[in-house]
A and B are shown apart, each in its own frame.
Chain A
Amino acid sequence: MVTAILPELLLTAGAIVLLLLPFLRSARSLVPLSFALIAVAAAIPVGLLLRGHSLGGALFSGVFMFDKLTFFFQELILLSVGLVVMTVAGDARSGLRDRREFYCLLLLTTVGLLLMPGAQNLVLLYLALELVSVLSYLLSGFKKQDGLSVEAALKYLLFGLLSTGVLLYGISLIYGLAGTMDIRAIPVEALRQSPAVTLAALILLAVGFGFKLSLVPFHGWAPDLYEGAPAPVVSFISVAPKIATFAVLIRLFMVWLSPIADLWAILFSFLAVITMTVGNLAALPQTNLKRLLAYSSIAHAGTMLIGLAAGTAFGAGALAYYAVAYLLMNTGLFMAVTAMESAEGRSDLAVYSGLAQREPTMAALMAVCLLSLGGIPPLAGFFGKMWVFGAALKGNLAWLAVAGAVNSVIAAFYYLKVVKTLYLDPLPAGCKPIPCVESLCFGMSFCVVMLFVLGLWQGPLLEILRLVIPSQLPPGSVPW
């Protein structure tokens, strides 16, 4: 039973050690130590699986479910956090790199994230989500002297508090109807009998989760936060909590609430269309790369939501594939943003002009990430879109697929605008080369290589996804 939560225990202990132990005087050991902790946390369940241990199943009287879905998403979250630590290592300007409390907060947030995919009890789910939220507020306001950063954090905090309240209200309605906090035991008949209250509860839950996923119209915090907070923090907040929240949505809605899919599928369909459209249109006029990426990540969350709205195993698999691709391309791009922010201190598009002549390798890596975000084959980002659209077509949601397709053309425009800045715009006079930090170079190369590998040789990942998607989902439609 304890082996299943060994990673969480390890990371908690590690966070405390990082903060308290006096012998860690040198700030240099912070990065390797955190990275090692994350690597070990990721390796433990893999090692146990390889040695023939089975995954735990429902643990702690069913509160926490340690199955393949949990395992997969936990590994994904740890990969994301590991890449964020590499990003921080390359951040020479914001001062995060040498602050031990930053690593402490990051690791504790990770613990919350790791609990989310497996939570089967609404109370645990709420607690894990709250742990992540509260620590994220702290992380985003980490630069105390920077007005923009503080403003962003405050905005994030206020939005977050409101949405948590709404989520809690939704949970209480579900409890009132079902009489239990255990999501496995929610009696679907009881929900059916009072559709109005159920719908209200579902809407409230969607609002609460929509905040985490920055779905329109709950996205107001994202652009300011992305612009104000240090790049590594944004890289973290834009990926890991979203992936964890999608895991929660898969388990809560697709697995346990699938009998009332008719009630929530249409809700998420509309949210998906609004989120994609508003996100993409708002990204078009942006002149700051971080702000542009905020709207881009809003739009991507909307696209992933199509997979959820499809409600099938195929939809869940497509969503998971998309999540992997999104992790790689977004994190890779934020590494470049971090490098540029360290060198130049800002991240408006103008500083990137002519980067191809200044740093050809970095520009090429960035361009691959951007093209993948824009959905150009044979990169993983394209296949994420393709499978999600496929799930929508297969689930008789052709209009959703068409909306997604139109949106991906709009999105291509602004990603290409960035590529244009990198390659077509002239290099301003007097630019110095950008110092190459090994961890950033390595991290970006890893992301880019993986984008190609997952695109051109996706068999293994598809095989893993087939194993991972819970068997309770509406079957028969997984194409792989």
Chain B
Amino acid sequence: MGSLILSQLVFLPLAAALLTLVIPKERESWIRAVALLATGMVLVLATLLVFSYRPLLSGFQFEEKISWIPQVNVWYHLGVDGISLPLVFLTALISFVGVIASASIQDRLKEYFFLYLLLATGMMGTFLALDLFLFYIFWEIVLVPMYFLIGIWGGPRREYAAIKFFLYTLAGSVFMLLAIIACYFSSLPHTFSIPDLTQQGLRLSHNMQWAVFMGFFLAFAIKVPIFPFHTWLPDAHVEAPTPISVILAGVLLKMGGYGFFRISLPLMPGIATQFAIVFAVLGVINIIYGAMVALAQTDFKKLVAYSSVSHMGFVLLGLGAMNLPGFNGAALEMFNHGMITGGMFLLVGVLYDRTHTRNLADFGGLGAKIPVYSGLLIFFSMASLGLPALSGFVGEFLSLMGGFLSFPAITLVSVLGLVVGAAIFLLLIQKVLLGVFQTKWAHLRDINTRELLAIVPLMAMVLWVGLFPRTILFLQSTTLGNLLRHLGSMKGW
């Protein structure tokens, strides 16, 4: 087994990005081929990684640790464990699917794929970095290409959406930077290493620990996004081109939840356990608020965007539960949401490419006209609303179960969100597929092979995880159990 597999995952896209720079602008098919090949290789490597990962071992695997800036004790340190592994696979799959979906992009192709591949490097690095310094760099690298990808190839309000996304995220991450520096100076010898900091704990006063925790919390909360920091999300998701919406929903939102698991909980277990109830309450607010707002939407894409806010609430609820079912549910929900909402955004894009409208009132009765598309839409809607045997159900169920063990009252309220969630997607199906067929769509073509190719892998994963959730749960349980033990030791169990 090549021991540099993680570096390859991170830097293959970057190498491909640099390669696209030297390809002449006119050779569009070459550029596409390079991007497809690079993300395809990353997907193959990620699959290999999943199969060679040993789920029962605790600690990090495939670690790479090279001294980077010895003067300040910064290491190039990558590693994978049960929390990051599903997300690494998710990132690889979504990046690959995104390249297929990028066929609709025609304009300034070279710049597009350069930025796209740079984004892939940033995302992968964020999930693999085990040094706070490195983590922060990857975290911020994601911002820049995303800004351009929304700003150049987005919809009518793209400039506003792009700058809003950038500033929101930056505002959160500068406070994370201060928190990281505070962690660094609190440790002896000074270190940025996440495992080392976890082991020695932060030698900071209680108030300072709260300040550090809030610094990280702000950065992650904006990314998740947690109400009331979510207002960038509908703008960014709606204005971004289809493949970028898929990446935003599929991968970027997970960076926030991942940050809680990777940094907030292990580094500040004492504060985190005190904060659990806040996580749960915020989770419920996200679930209910997101669902209610989604219900009121007339724009197809905005509806999916707000339903993401609702789904992220389940992640928070599971996180706040601070028990194994809750953690498993939260981590699984992140993975599932990436697949399901990614698929939903692809479907929105397919319809938009043909009709150039996303207004739900413009559709109706499409079910008979485009049967394959309709089947897919029903499939992903059912997955979104949490139909058993599809993956969405498992994550939400585990989150609720964990939440019920810790906060029964709060969890009871959040179950209401499931009802509203079901209403959202059933109404969506009704508005788009049922009802009176509008004659202006008489020439509407059904989904084509290329679009199908992008969606089928996601569909397969949704079905597989729905039927055999054990595959993913098995990968992450050991790590989550260890994390709980770490948290529990602080609570004095």
Give CA–CA (A480, B190) in the complex, Å. 10
Give CA–CA (A420, B164) in the complex, Å. 13
Cβ of A408 < 8 Å from any Cβ of B? yes
Within 8 A of A (CB), among B161-184: 162-163, 166-167, 170-171, 174-175, 177-178, 181-182, 184
Our pick among A393, A458, A462 for the contact of B178 (Cβ within 8 Å) is A393
Cβ of B143 < 8 Å from any Cβ of A? yes
Our pick among B136, B159, B166 for the contact of A377 (Cβ within 8 Å) is B136
Cβ of A424 < 8 Å from any Cβ of B? yes
- Residues in A neighbouring B70, C-beta threshold 8 A: 459
Give CA–CA (A390, B181) in the complex, Å. 6
Cβ of A35 < 8 Å from any Cβ of B? no
Minimum CB–CB distance for B442 against chain A, Å = 36
Cβ of B137 < 8 Å from any Cβ of A? yes
Give CA–CA (A479, B163) in the complex, Å. 35
A423 contacts B181, C-beta separation under 8 Å: no
A376 contacts B140, C-beta separation under 8 Å: yes
Given contacts A378-B141, A412-B167, A413-B167, contact A420 B72 (CB under 8 A): no
Residue of B nearest to A402 (CB): B178
- Residues in A neighbouring B167, C-beta threshold 8 A: 409, 412-413, 416
A393 contacts B151, C-beta separation under 8 Å: no
- Residues in A neighbouring B162, C-beta threshold 8 A: 420, 424
Cβ of B144 < 8 Å from any Cβ of A? yes
B177 contacts A405, C-beta separation under 8 Å: yes
A416 contacts B69, C-beta separation under 8 Å: no
- Residues in B neighbouring A371, C-beta threshold 8 A: 144
Cβ of B89 < 8 Å from any Cβ of A? no
Cβ of A389 < 8 Å from any Cβ of B? yes
Cβ of A386 < 8 Å from any Cβ of B? yes
Give CA–CA (A416, B72) in the complex, Å. 30
Given contacts A393-B178, A393-B185, A423-B151, contact A458 B69 (CB under 8 A): yes
- Residues in B neighbouring A479, C-beta threshold 8 A: 71-72, 184-185, 190
Give CA–CA (A397, B190) in the complex, Å. 19
Contact with B along A404-418 (1 / 0, CB 8 A): 011011001100110
A459 contacts B71, C-beta separation under 8 Å: yes
Cβ of B373 < 8 Å from any Cβ of A? no
B69 contacts A462, C-beta separation under 8 Å: yes
Within 8 A of B (CB), among A389-448: 389-390, 393-394, 398, 401-402, 405-406, 408-409, 412-413, 416-417, 420, 423-424
Of B72, B152, B190, chain A has the most CB atoms within 10 Å of the CB of B72
Given contacts A376-B144, A459-B70, A459-B71, contact A412 B181 (CB under 8 A): no
Give CA–CA (A377, B135) in the complex, Å. 11
Our pick among B141, B148, B159, B182 for the contact of A393 (Cβ within 8 Å) is B182
B177 contacts A386, C-beta separation under 8 Å: yes
- Residues in B neighbouring A386, C-beta threshold 8 A: 177, 181
Residue of A nearest to B67 (CB): A459
Residue of B nearest to A455 (CB): B137
Q: How many residues of A sit at the interface, in one of the four size bands?
A: 20 to 34
Give CA–CA (A405, B167) in the complex, Å. 12
Q: How many residues of B sit at the interface, in one of the four size bands?
A: 20 to 34
- Residues in B neighbouring A463, C-beta threshold 8 A: 71
Minimum CB–CB distance for A105 against chain B, Å = 40
Give CA–CA (A377, B162) in the complex, Å. 19
A377 contacts B181, C-beta separation under 8 Å: no
Residue of B nearest to A411 (CB): B170
Give CA–CA (A416, B144) in the complex, Å. 10
Cβ of B147 < 8 Å from any Cβ of A? yes
B171 contacts A401, C-beta separation under 8 Å: no
Give CA–CA (A356, B110) in the complex, Å. 12
Minimum CB–CB distance for A306 against chain B, Å = 12
Given contacts A459-B69, A462-B72, A466-B71, contact A401 B170 (CB under 8 A): no
A416 contacts B163, C-beta separation under 8 Å: yes
Contact with B along A441-480 (1 / 0, CB 8 A): 0000000000000000011001100100000000000011
A424 contacts B151, C-beta separation under 8 Å: yes
- Residues in B neighbouring A462, C-beta threshold 8 A: 69, 71-72
- Residues in B neighbouring A459, C-beta threshold 8 A: 69-71
Residue of B nearest to A456 (CB): B68
A393 contacts B181, C-beta separation under 8 Å: yes
Give CA–CA (A393, B183) in the complex, Å. 11
Residue of A nearest to B171 (CB): A409
Give CA–CA (A423, B152) in the complex, Å. 7
Our pick among B71, B159, B181, B211 for the contact of A420 (Cβ within 8 Å) is B159
Give CA–CA (A393, B177) in the complex, Å. 11
B174 contacts A406, C-beta separation under 8 Å: yes
Residue of A nearest to B139 (CB): A377
A405 contacts B190, C-beta separation under 8 Å: no
- Residues in A neighbouring B140, C-beta threshold 8 A: 376-377, 382
Minimum CB–CB distance for B132 against chain A, Å = 12
- Residues in A neighbouring B175, C-beta threshold 8 A: 402, 405
Given contacts A416-B163, A420-B151, A420-B163, contact A405 B71 (CB under 8 A): no
- Residues in B neighbouring A423, C-beta threshold 8 A: 148, 151-152
A394 contacts B185, C-beta separation under 8 Å: yes
Query: 18 more A-B contacts (CB under 8 A) besides A371-B144, A402-B175, A423-B151?
Result: A377-B141, A378-B137, A386-B181, A389-B177, A389-B181, A393-B181, A393-B182, A398-B178, A401-B178, A402-B178, A408-B170, A412-B170, A416-B163, A420-B162, A424-B152, A424-B162, A466-B71, A479-B72
Q: Give 15 A-B contacts (CB < 8 Å), ordered by A residue.
A: A377-B136, A377-B141, A386-B177, A390-B184, A390-B185, A393-B181, A394-B185, A408-B170, A412-B170, A413-B163, A423-B148, A424-B158, A459-B70, A462-B69, A480-B69
Using CB atoms and an 8 Å cutoff, list the residues of chain A in contact with chain B: 356, 371, 376-378, 382, 386, 389-390, 393-394, 398, 401-402, 405-406, 408-409, 412-413, 416-417, 420, 423-424, 458-459, 462-463, 466, 479-480
The 5 closest A-B CB pairs, nearest first, are A480-B71, A405-B174, A462-B71, A377-B137, A390-B181
